Structures are given as C-alpha cells and as structure tokens.
Amino acid sequence: MSFLHPILFAAGLVSIGIPIAIHLLLRQRRRPVMWGAMRFLIEAYRRQRRRLRVEQWLLLAARCLVVLLIGAALARPVLEGAGLLSGAPGRTVYILLDTGLASSAREGASAEETALDRHKKTAMDLLSTLGASDRAGLVLLGAPASAVVAPASGDVAAVRRLIEEASPTDAATDLAGAFERIARVLDQDEASGARPTTLVLLSDFYLGSADAARPLPLSLAARSNVRLLVSKPRGAGEAASNVQVTGVEPLRPLILTGAAGASGAGAAEREQVRVTLRRSGPAVGDSSATTVRLRAMGGSQVESPPSQGLVRWQPGQVEAMVAVPVSAAGGARDSATGMVLVAEIDRDALPGDNVFRRPIGVRESLRVGVVARARFGADTSLDRLGPADWLRLALRPTPGTPIDVVDIEPTSIDTPTLASVDVVFAPAPDLIRDEDWARLRRFVDAGGMLVVSPAAEATVHLWTDAMTRELGLPWRLAREPVQYPEGMGVDDQSVSTALLSLIASELPSLVRPVVVSRAVPPEGVGPETEVLLSLKDGSAWVIASSPGAGRVEGSGEGAGGESGQSHGLVVYFASAPTLKWTDLPAKPLMVPLIQELSRQGFGRASGSWWSKAGVPAAAPFRSEQLRPVAASGSESGGEMVAVAPTGLTTEPMRKAGLWQSFDEGGRARGFVAVNADSDAGRTIPQDPSVIRGWLSAALGTGGGGAGAGERLAWLEESDAAPVLAASSADSPFSVPMLLVVLVLAVAELVMARYFSHAFAR
C-alpha cells in the first residue's frame, strides 16, 4: 500500500505523540497526604488496578489510532491494483500518439522540432498529472496501429520512457485500427469497467493523417465512461508545405541488355523514366521549382552521377510529371537481382516521402518456349506456315533480337523445362494434358507468362474447360469458333495501352488492315480482365488476366506490391495466328504486337516488388528472408525480416527502405522496396469542426450534438490537469477511511464515558 501524499501520512504518524504526551502528563506523581481512611482507598485501588490499566491503554490506543487515521485519510492510501482505500477506482488514460508519415513534418526546412516532438511534450505534461491510483496506456498510430502498453499500466514512468523512444513511421495514421484495438482491450480488462477512461489523441489532423470522408468504427460508442481529449488541428497558417515523389514508372518494367536490347542501338543503356510528383500545403498557391535526381542501383554499385530533371510548378498546380533518362549500363545491371531506380527530390518539411524506389528486371535476353509438335522439312510457303512458325518469326525477326526461342514438345511439359523459360506460347492447347495445365499454373504463379491461342485445326475446342479451371481464370471460352464469312475488322477505337504503351501511338493505324475470319471469343469478361484488342462487333479479341487474382493493373502495388505472390500473367488470343483464322501474321502489327506482349507482359508477370509502408511487403517467389540494403547497394547489417510461405513478410513494414530477398539456399532472388505512403503525406489542414464531427460520430454522439461536449474536448480549450480531473470522480481525501475515523471517535467517547465510572452508584 502506498500514499498519494506521504508527507501528510508522516505528519499524522508524528501526531500520535500528542495523546501519548497528554496521557503521560496526567500521570504525574503528586505528594501523598495521609489521612485516616486512606488505607481503605489503597486497598480498593489495588483490587481494581489491573482493570483500570487496561481501560487506560484502550483509551490511549483509540486516541492514537484516531489521529493516525486522520492523517492517513488526508494522505489518501492506495491499495495496489485497485485503489480501494482511496474512495474511487482511479483513472485510465490512453495516449494515442500519431506516428504516421505526417508526424515527421517540421515547421520549416531547417526546423529542428517535428510534430511528433510537440506531441511528445504534451503527452509528458499529461502523464505528470496522474496519481498513484491512475493507470496509463500507449497506442502508436503509425499503420497498423500498435498497442504498445495495453491494457493500461500503473507504471507511468515506463510509459513515459516508451513515449520518448517513439519515432515517426512512413505509413499512414491508423486511427480506426487504434479505436478497434482499445475497444477490445477495454472489453477484456475487468478493472476498466469501473474506471473512467480518457483517450488523449495527439495529432495535427492533416488530410493525410485523418480522412474525414472515411467513417471511424463505432466500437467505442457504447462505452459511456470513455472520453476523448483531442489536440486541435493545425491551422492554415501553421501547416507545413510538402512535395513528394508519388511514382517512378519506367517505359519498360524489364530491360533487355542483349544486342539491340530495346528499340535500337544504345537504347538499353539509356531508359526514359517518368517520375510523378505531388505537392500540398500552403505552398500550392506559389510558383516554385523542384529538382528530381534519378539513379540506378544494382548489385553493390550505384550509378553515378545521377540524371536530373526539373519540375516548374505553376500557382495552384498540385501534380506534375517529368521524364528523366537513366543509365542502365555497367555495374547497375545485375541479371540475378535486377536493378532499382531511385528518384529523389530536395529536402523539405516532410523528408520521409522525398525518395521513391522502384525495382525493375534486367535480363540479357528472354527465353520464350513455344509448345508445338516438331515439323520436319523446310516449307516456306506462307499458306503452309502453322501458328508456331508465325510465332517464331515474330519472336525473333532478326538475329540481333534479344529473345531466345525454345521448342517444347507437348508431351515434355515438365517442371525443369518450364523453369528454364520466361514466357510460354501455347498455339496448340488441344495437345496439352490436364496435368500439364496444372504445371503451367505453377509456372505462372512463379512469375511466368503464358500466351494461349485456339488450336488451328480443331473444330470443337474441348481443352477450354481444363485451361480455365486449372489456371483459375475469371472468364469462359466457347467450345466452337465463331465464323466471319465477310471478315471482321479490329476496333481501332478501343485499343488498350497498358501492355502496349510503347506502340500506343501507332496502334490505331496498325490494327485497321487486320481482318479476322474465325475466333473463339471469351465470355463473361469482367473488370478484372484487361481487354487489349476488341473486334468491331464488340467481342474481346486479345485479353490478359492474372490467374486466380483478377488484378492486372500494371504498376505499383497492383503489380506485386500487396498480393504476396507473383501475379503471373495469362494472355489469350481469340484467333489462332494463322492465315486460316486471320491475316494478322502477314500484317505489320504482328511483330510489334508479339514483341511488346513478350517484353512488357513478362515484366508485369515477374512483378515489380515494391509496396507502401504500413502493410506486409511482398517478396519474390521462393523468398525466405529480406536483408536491408544500404544506400551504397551493399547490405547495411540491419535487422532481417522473415518471409512467410504466403510470400508476405511476417510483420508489417512501417519504414521505407530497400531490401534484398534470399531463398532457403541463400541465393539472391531480387530487390524489395518499401516506399512511404504518398496519401499519408498530404499536409492539407482541415476544419476543426469537421474533425470534431468525425470524432463525435465515432463516440456515438453525432456531429457534436447532445453529449458531445461531455465525451469530447479540445486539449487547447483548458489545461491538461483540469480536463483530466473532470474525468475522475475521485475526492481529495479517503472517504472510507474518514468513516472509520468517525466510528472510532464515537467508540472512544463511549469508552471514555464508561471507563470514568460516572454512572456508578
């Protein structure tokens, strides 16, 4: 047991000497005066002496105890864990500290104090008002919200130390997750039922920290003993301005460094990269300029010096894009692990989102397998060329094309064969067995690309059921082809440029001469399937989809950043690449179409392994662990992160950075980048009334109506101590102990009257 005011208890302990001194003074010996009947009184006293002494000791003990209990009541004793003797159960205070990306904002580029530093000081002042019967908890709001101390603890000093150690993350602010977590803790904590609970929410409430358009959960609405104490949002004059890198998009997600690796001589050495920027805060209304530096990192060497681009902001402009060339030569190229593009801008008030990392693949050449029966003899007449022949010509039109074509017998589709190629073309799917479709599914899941077209000689296509079933595709295929006796043209107005971006400008003129006479069109094509080319009757002609997933958006998180596995890619041609089905093989579209699908498609299928901070990061296929990489490209010696069998890291990645993945045998599998959550860096101030209504709705008090003032208050409206005191029903002294004192005082009066023998005859 301890005391809130030990000095008062010590004073009460010293005051015990007062009744003792009075007792001793009243017992002073006086000079005896002998008189005749004295001997009879002495004899009576001797017979009652033992009883009188017990009565005196009882009265002295009662008086001393009364004085001691008065001092103890004023000192407020606390029974550890419950505070039963203090007259009230004490308070529970949870500090909800914003550690999201916006918490690292500074007042100016040279300012030393961040928003998190200010909130730490406020939290320390609040904790200093707590007493021994109170408990404190701590929840850090950097996504996902982390309950560092929950349930609340009576060790307030330990909570203070944890607050001092808190650092900003590069993730969003997860207030919804924090409310859910606290609600679960309060439901499980039996002691919290009788304790008034105060949630102290410390944040600047920028748009990136608190999106009022997304309602908060109502998990705390039913708890009437929970109050919310909130720091006021930053005003427009106090908000920080921020410029952030929101994306790095190379023209090709895969760089081929072989002879004539890209579009021409030297194109593999200089790649154009689109860097997108966004700014927010008061500076949006001003004109300014931002320098973008782009470099390539691969292996243990960083390409130097970096390339530069300049963005000139116009007043009111929020987003901008600049194309920056980057060199992919020399040490930056690593076919084993790929390459990382690093875009960086000048330091500003929010430095966490000034760097963006984007891994891309680097290969000497692509290995493309064509599944078809071998042909013997040389027959070069166009009408005798089969689908496999046309595909081989389109894949390698010149000896310098960095694509190696591998012939695969339909009966030889096994795991070792598929592991040796990057892309598989299946122009004869009727020859593929059901178990081979399952092997192709594993090949695609590992980051491969599969291109399927109908069997040229089949009249009934029974293979379609096995293919869509084993590959988990979100569409169906007809069993019989659709005939177009007059020929059907390709729609030049519905051309998708996602996978065909480099030939997008020429596509309308390239597709116009193409005529289709036969097709097996897909059915049930939904939004999860990307339609690359359509016929003029509206039916899809060339489509792409990820097996089982249904998300094929090409860049960023959708391409491998959040799913946890390589998406892979399946492309379907509704017509066989032969002159009996379409004149595409003899048209100029054939070669660029097959080339771009192979290169861009495999770049998407193999995945660009980057994700935003605040979620588990996705790693390449067969990865076992991630090791941090320093700015120089070498291992930094930091803490390694394990990768689960699902392909996701076992813990969320709250900080941006670069890691290298390794498999069970210690072989490098590629780079994994974690970038700051760009949405969390929007330093746009919000109206306090909007934030108040948003938080009041989470407490079930509506938009600040009845009950809102009792359960929600701004921290700036009054000092910390009175606001916290208002949430407590605690009295300035121990009421139960004072009741004991009163009972004991009455007992002392009764005993004093009885022991005086004044009522005796």
- pLDDT at position 737 is 73
Question: CA distances (Å), 380 to each of 189, 383, 384, 746, in order?
Answer: 81, 9, 7, 122
- For a pLDDT cut of 70, what percent of the chain falls above it? 79
pLDDT category at 123 given cuts 50, 70, 90 is very high
Q: Is residue 623 scored above 60 in pLDDT?
A: yes
CA–CA separation, 177 vs 107, rounded Å?
Answer: 28
Q: What is the pLDDT of residues 492-504, one digit of tens each?
A: 886 666 788 888 8
Question: CA distances (Å), 234 to each of 99, 530, 682, in order?
Answer: 16, 43, 13
Q: What is the pLDDT of residues 343-375, one digit of tens each?
A: 999 988 899 999 999 998 888 889 999 999 877
Residues 6+ apart with CB under 8 A from 266: none
- pLDDT at position 435 is 92
Mean pLDDT of 248-271: 65
Mean pLDDT of 83-110: 75
pLDDT category at 333 given cuts 50, 70, 90 is low
Q: What is the DSSP letter of 651?
A: S
CA–CA separation, 76 vs 128, rounded Å?
Answer: 18
Q: Which of 63-72, 97-106, 502-511 has the lowest mean pLDDT?
A: 63-72
Residues 6+ apart with CB under 8 A from 598: 366, 368, 395, 403, 423, 449
Q: In this structure, what are the phi and psi dihedrals at residue 688, rounded to the nearest 5 degrees?
A: -55, -35
Residue 313: enclosing H or E segment and its boundaries? strand 307-313
- Rounded to the nearest angstrom, the gap between the alpha carbon of residue 705 and the centroid of all alpha carbons in its chain is 33
Q: Is residue 272 scored above 90 in pLDDT?
A: no
In the chain, the amino acid numbered 630 is A
Higher pLDDT pick, 191 / 653: 653
For residues 394 and 401, is the Cβ–Cβ distance under 8 A? no
Q: Which numeric CATH code is attached to 242-364+610-681?
A: 2.60.40.10
Q: Is residue 382 scored above 60 in pLDDT?
A: yes
Q: What is the pLDDT of residues 144-172, one digit of tens each?
A: 999 999 999 989 999 999 999 999 999 99
- pLDDT at position 687 is 92
Q: Which of 175-184, 434-443, 495-504, 634-643 has the lowest mean pLDDT?
A: 634-643
Q: Which of 109-118, 217-226, 243-252 has the lowest mean pLDDT?
A: 109-118
Question: CA distances (Å), 16 to each of 4, 67, 128, 377, 752, in order?
Answer: 20, 6, 33, 119, 18
Q: Which numeric CATH code is attached to 88-239+683-726?
A: 3.40.50.410
DSSP string covering 540-556, please?
A: EEEEEE-TTT-----SG
**What stretches of 174-283 adopt beta strand conformation (E)?**
197-202, 226-230, 242-250, 254-256, 270-280
Q: What is the pLDDT of residues 11-59, one digit of tens each?
A: 777 777 787 777 677 665 566 676 666 666 677 767 667 777 777 788 7
Do the domains spanning 88-239+683-726 and 242-364+610-681 agree at the CATH topology level?
A: no
- pLDDT at position 136 is 93
Residue 519: enclosing H or E segment and its boundaries? strand 515-519
Residues 6+ apart with CB under 8 A from 648: 564, 616, 617, 618, 619
Q: Is residue 110 scored above 60 in pLDDT?
A: no
Higher pLDDT pick, 71 / 2: 71
Domain boundaries, the chain: 2-84+734-755, 88-239+683-726, 242-364+610-681, 366-606
Question: CA distances (Å), 336 to each of 205, 256, 662, 668, 670, in order?
Answer: 44, 13, 11, 7, 7
* Superfamily name and number for 366-606: Class I glutamine amidotransferase (GATase) domain (3.40.50.880)
Q: In this structure, what are the phi and psi dihedrals at residue 101, rounded to the nearest 5 degrees?
A: -55, -40
Question: CA distances (Å), 474 to each of 469, 527, 532, 547, 605, in order?
Answer: 9, 10, 16, 8, 17
- Rounded to the nearest angstrom, the gap between the alpha carbon of residue 68 and the centroid of all alpha carbons in its chain is 57
